[in-house]
Chains A and B, each alone.
Chain A
Amino acid sequence: MNKKTGPEKPSDFQKIQEEDRIRQLVAKIRQKEEEIQSLRQQIEKKQVKFTGPSTDEMHEKIDLLMRATQIGIWEWEIQTGVILWDERTKSVFGFSDQEFDGSMKSYQQRIHPADLPRMQEIIQEAVERKTTYQVEHRVIWPDQQIRYVIGHGVVIRNEKGEAVKVIGTCQDFTDLQIKNEKLKRFGKLLESAYSEIYILDAQTLTFLEVNLGGRINLGYTQEELTQKTLLDIIPGYAENTIRQLIQSLYDKTPEEVSFESNFLRKNGSFYHVLAHLQLSADEDRRVVIANVQDITEEVLVKKQLQKNKMRLDLAIQGTSDGIWDWPDMKSNRMWWSPKFYELLGIPEFSVDATMENFQKLIHPEDKETFMEQMLKHVKQDQPYDIEIRLKHQNGHYRWFRSRGQIFRNEKGNPVRMAGAISDIHMRKKAEFQLKNTNLRLQKTNEYLDNFVFTVAHDLRSPVANLKSLVALFKAQVDQYDPIVSRIDLSVERLEQTLRGLVQILDVQKSKQKAIKSVSFSQMLDKLKKEMEETIHETQVVIRSDFKIAHISYFEPYLESMMRNLLSNALKYTRSRDNPVIILSTEKHQEFVTLRVTDNGIGIDLERFKHKIFKPFEKISPNSSGQGVGLHLIKTMVEKNGGKVEVQSKLEEGTTFTVFLKPYSKNEK
């Protein structure tokens, strides 16, 4: 031994101490080995139960400790393969006291098959080149319960360094594992929850933790959030308000407080939230757990609904219609809008809104219409829109337009009906007045027509007499008399005018006559014969091109039109060289056009267009006509759904086109 001991050589001292400890340990191990050896012998020879080290004080202490920590002790002799377990190890593996036979097979059977290969590997490795090892694995109990076990082992080697046995401990940590898993699962759920969950420091209001939902909506990362406080994302709230809210949680009056606000995202936009705050403790500090719901959409929908309701209310108030609702058609009960009452002069709610009361308001004469239309609406889905009289509070009936619509259920049965009444009394009154006025006017017109007709016809006879008398007088008095000659002229004019007037009246008065198929060429032949003299005299050439040969029409009308057109054309061409008149027909849309073209003197349409079709307008002063021909044509053709047009150039000729609307054979 060296004298030089002191602080300057602590390493030596430490070495000695270390060596001592090793020596002691080795001794202890040897002793333990011997003990175990003897115990093994006892077991083998005397079948004595292994109860673990129990002799000296140290063992008792260890045993106590093991019991308290529920740690089991075991030994495994590698060469023999014998396994020694204490009671606790047995219970960890789900064996009762005498059940375990100490074989490797029985032991391995209890290990979760998924864990076995890994365990064997670890143990193998430890036996080959390690002193200690640690392994976690699952054990399956006979009742299929799965337990989580942690095992520690120490490999004991002989002088040659060969592993001879392994001793170790085992401990069941299933409860802890379950707790951990629960926590893990819970954390995962919180993290992925749809709602946003913030955990804040109750004092500083900084974010400690924000789940995925919150981070996504806010647009911040977890790191960025730890630099921020709740106040940063609620710029609209004063710090005091928030703190007061949290303070109220300390007082435990409410377990939870909620508030609505707008949260500011990283990108500067806002979203509407409903936040619930709770106070909790995390380790040593108070935290606030905020459960935040994004209610932007709900708020929008709510606003829209409010707006709609407001709009509907306004519509009901603002409309001049009285609205009614019959929410359940099986019941008598209805709802009438305030305007409904007002329209009927009934003080609001002084009469119950019922179907029965509504029907009582209907004028007795209109009840049948009402029931009929209602039934048609319900049964045949015909629109319900009628005009009825309803009794006003003042005792008089007023005209209303009543409209409504039923609503059907999935089976198609009517369940509800709603509608409106609008006051049309003034309109209806005006309508009646108009009807009356019309009737009166019609009568007056008829009277006037008859009057004019009678006058014109009655005048014809005396005028004709006058004409004859003048002619007689002239025949008897041979001498020219300027007075008589002017009387003659005046009578002539009077007679012509009267004849025209009668023609117009006759056309206007005549009702629809028999329609028949008329041949254009036959009619032309007839007219040519009639006007033979003039035609011969003027040497006019009349050509025809009737692409449409026949037309269903009222023959006298057509004849009159053609006669007038032809005689006009003859007049216009009277003074011309090589006069030509062309008549043609063709189809034009729904019409048949009759065109009469001449190469006569023409008409100054700019001057005369407006008067050409008016009665008693003569546009050539020296013509002998009565000035009614064209007016007659217009009257007749328009009366039958057609029209007449004129084209003309002075000194070149005129074309009249009559658009005749043919009658179908059945039409009258």
Chain B
Amino acid sequence: MKNKKKILLIDDDDINNYIAEEWARSNYQHQVDLVIFADAVEALQFLVQCDEEDFPVLILCDLKMPLVDGFEFIENYEQKFLDKHPHTKIVVLSSSIRQDDMAKVKDYSSVADFVSKLSIQENFKQIFEQHLHIHAN
């Protein structure tokens, strides 16, 4: 159990989140502990009360969200957690491939990648392999 890597997913799309949960359970159940939030504020609150050793190694974050969007989340995250958790990577998920979004996001040192939203299975495969060296069961 301890080998499981904690991954945070922040997305306002319920269906997407459901699929992600199911997919992670059926394909990465021994490797990944996926925590999902539909709201960036809740995600930040979770991180605040998160144990040191239980802190996520990877945060997948959608850009377009109501209330607090992806940019704001990253902004807040870096202020509060970047110093303490320099190894945690943020991968931005976006259905938009707007160049200026891409450029803006890459300015943040915590952001490791900018990934176009495809199907969950494709995104997970790509991201997990590249950033966590985890392969599906």
A binds B: yes
Chain A residues packing against B (C-beta within 8 Å): 457-458, 460-462, 464-465, 467-469, 471-472, 475-476, 495, 506
Q: Once the chains bind, are A460 and B16 in contact (CB under 8 Å)? A: no
Q: Once the chains bind, are B19 and A461 in contact (CB under 8 Å)? A: no
Q: How far is the CA of A472 from the CA of B26 in the complex (A)?
A: 9
Q: How far is the CA of A465 from the CA of B19 in the complex (A)?
A: 7
Judge whether B117 is part of the interface by a CB distance below 8 angstroms.
Answer: yes
Closest to B15 in A: A465
Judge whether B42 is part of the interface by a CB distance below 8 angstroms.
Answer: no
Q: How far is the CA of A464 from the CA of B121 in the complex (A)?
A: 9
Closest to A465 in B: B15
Query: Could you list 6 examples of A-B contacts with CB < 8 Å?
Result: A461-B117, A464-B122, A465-B120, A467-B119, A471-B121, A472-B22
Q: Once the chains bind, are A468 and B121 in contact (CB under 8 Å)? A: yes
Q: How far is the CA of A476 from the CA of B118 in the complex (A)?
A: 22
Give the distance to chain A from B43, nearest Cβ to Cβ, in Å: 20
Judge whether B68 is part of the interface by a CB distance below 8 angstroms.
Answer: no
Q: Which of B73-131 contact A (CB under 8 A)?
A: 95-97, 117-122
Q: Once the chains bind, are A465 and B118 in contact (CB under 8 Å)? A: no
Q: Once the chains bind, are B95 and A468 in contact (CB under 8 Å)? A: no
A469 proximity list for chain B (CB < 8 A) = 15, 19
Closest to A495 in B: B119
B23 proximity list for chain A (CB < 8 A) = 468, 471-472
From B13, B19, B26, B95, give the contact of A460 (CB < 8 A): B95
Q: Once the chains bind, are B96 and A468 in contact (CB under 8 Å)? A: no
Q: Once the chains bind, are A468 and B26 in contact (CB under 8 Å)? A: no
Instruction: List 3 A-B pairs, minimum CB-CB distance, nearest first.
Output: A464-B119, A468-B19, A467-B119
Interface residues of B, dominant DSSP = helix
Q: Once the chains bind, are A506 and B117 in contact (CB under 8 Å)? A: no
Give the distance to chain B from A53, nearest Cβ to Cβ, in Å: 149
Contacts known (A469-B19, A472-B23, A475-B26); A464 close to B118, Cβ less than 8 A: yes
From A464, A467, A476, give the contact of B117 (CB < 8 A): A464
Q: Once the chains bind, are A461 and B121 in contact (CB under 8 Å)? A: no
Contacts known (A465-B16, A468-B23, A506-B97); A460 close to B117, Cβ less than 8 A: yes
Closest to A513 in B: B99
Q: How far is the CA of A495 from the CA of B16 in the complex (A)?
A: 16
Interface residues of A, dominant DSSP = helix
Give the distance to chain B from A505, nearest Cβ to Cβ, in Å: 10
Give the distance to chain B from A562, nearest Cβ to Cβ, in Å: 21
From B16, B26, B122, give the contact of A461 (CB < 8 A): B16
A506 proximity list for chain B (CB < 8 A) = 97
Closest to A463 in B: B119
Give the distance to chain B from A313, nearest Cβ to Cβ, in Å: 68
A471 proximity list for chain B (CB < 8 A) = 23, 119, 121
A475 proximity list for chain B (CB < 8 A) = 26
Q: How far is the CA of A475 from the CA of B22 in the complex (A)?
A: 10
Q: How far is the CA of A469 from the CA of B23 in the complex (A)?
A: 9
Q: Once the chains bind, are B96 and A457 in contact (CB under 8 Å)? A: yes
Closest to A470 in B: B119
B120 proximity list for chain A (CB < 8 A) = 464-465, 468
Q: How far is the CA of A209 from the CA of B120 in the complex (A)?
A: 127
Closest to A461 in B: B95
Give the distance to chain A from B85, nearest Cβ to Cβ, in Å: 29
Q: How far is the CA of A467 from the CA of B15 in the complex (A)?
A: 12
Q: How far is the CA of A460 from the CA of B19 in the complex (A)?
A: 15
B121 proximity list for chain A (CB < 8 A) = 467-468, 471
Q: How far is the CA of A476 from the CA of B15 in the complex (A)?
A: 17
Give the distance to chain B from A239, nearest Cβ to Cβ, in Å: 106
- Known interface pairs A460-B95, A471-B23; 19 further A-B residue pairs with C-beta atoms within 8 A, sorted by A's residue number: A457-B95, A457-B96, A460-B117, A460-B118, A461-B16, A461-B117, A464-B120, A465-B13, A465-B16, A465-B19, A465-B119, A468-B19, A468-B119, A468-B120, A469-B19, A471-B121, A472-B23, A495-B119, A506-B97
Q: How far is the CA of A495 from the CA of B96 in the complex (A)?
A: 17
Give the distance to chain A from B66, nearest Cβ to Cβ, in Å: 15
Q: Which of B12-47 contact A (CB under 8 A)?
A: 13, 15-16, 19, 22-23, 26
Q: Which of B16, B26, B119 is packed against the most chain A CB atoms within 10 Å?
A: B119
Q: How far is the CA of A460 from the CA of B97 in the complex (A)?
A: 12
Closest to A459 in B: B95
Give the distance to chain A from B117, nearest Cβ to Cβ, in Å: 6
Q: Once the chains bind, are A458 and B95 in contact (CB under 8 Å)? A: yes
Give the distance to chain B from A463, nearest Cβ to Cβ, in Å: 8
Closest to B25 in A: A472
Q: How far is the CA of A475 from the CA of B19 in the complex (A)?
A: 12
Q: How far is the CA of A475 from the CA of B24 in the complex (A)?
A: 13
Q: How far is the CA of A471 from the CA of B122 in the complex (A)?
A: 12
Give the distance to chain A from B56, nearest Cβ to Cβ, in Å: 22
B95 proximity list for chain A (CB < 8 A) = 457-458, 460-461
Q: How far is the CA of A477 from the CA of B120 in the complex (A)?
A: 19
Closest to B119 in A: A464
Q: How far is the CA of A199 from the CA of B78 in the complex (A)?
A: 128
Give the distance to chain B from A498, nearest Cβ to Cβ, in Å: 11
Give the distance to chain A from B127, nearest Cβ to Cβ, in Å: 14
Q: How far is the CA of A472 from the CA of B119 in the complex (A)?
A: 12
Give the distance to chain B from A279, nearest Cβ to Cβ, in Å: 109
From A458, A472, A476, A495, give the contact of B19 (CB < 8 A): A472
Give the distance to chain A from B75, nearest Cβ to Cβ, in Å: 24
Closest to A511 in B: B99
Closest to B118 in A: A464
Give the distance to chain B from A497, nearest Cβ to Cβ, in Å: 14
B97 proximity list for chain A (CB < 8 A) = 457, 506
Q: How far is the CA of A461 from the CA of B94 in the complex (A)?
A: 10
Q: How far is the CA of A469 from the CA of B26 in the complex (A)?
A: 13
Q: Which of A460, A468, A506 is packed against the most chain B CB atoms within 10 Å?
A: A468
Q: How far is the CA of A467 from the CA of B120 in the complex (A)?
A: 9
Q: How far is the CA of A510 from the CA of B122 in the complex (A)?
A: 25
Q: How far is the CA of A458 from the CA of B117 in the complex (A)?
A: 10
A457 proximity list for chain B (CB < 8 A) = 95-97
Give the distance to chain B from A554, nearest Cβ to Cβ, in Å: 13
Q: How far is the CA of A476 from the CA of B23 in the complex (A)?
A: 11
A460 proximity list for chain B (CB < 8 A) = 95, 117-118
Give the distance to chain A from B94, nearest Cβ to Cβ, in Å: 10
Q: Which of B19, B23, B97, B121 is packed against the most chain A CB atoms within 10 Å?
A: B19
Give the distance to chain A from B90, nearest Cβ to Cβ, in Å: 20
Give the distance to chain B from A508, nearest Cβ to Cβ, in Å: 14
Q: How far is the CA of A467 from the CA of B121 in the complex (A)?
A: 9
Closest to B62 in A: A461
Q: How far is the CA of A468 from the CA of B15 in the complex (A)?
A: 10
B122 proximity list for chain A (CB < 8 A) = 464
A462 proximity list for chain B (CB < 8 A) = 15
A464 proximity list for chain B (CB < 8 A) = 117-120, 122
Q: Which of B13, B23, B118, B121 is packed against the most chain A CB atoms within 10 Å?
A: B118
B26 proximity list for chain A (CB < 8 A) = 472, 475-476
Closest to A473 in B: B22
Q: How far is the CA of A458 from the CA of B95 in the complex (A)?
A: 7
Q: How far is the CA of A50 from the CA of B23 in the complex (A)?
A: 175
Closest to A454 in B: B96
Give the distance to chain A from B93, nearest Cβ to Cβ, in Å: 10
B16 proximity list for chain A (CB < 8 A) = 461, 465
Closest to A469 in B: B19
B118 proximity list for chain A (CB < 8 A) = 460, 464
Give the distance to chain A from B2, nearest Cβ to Cβ, in Å: 27
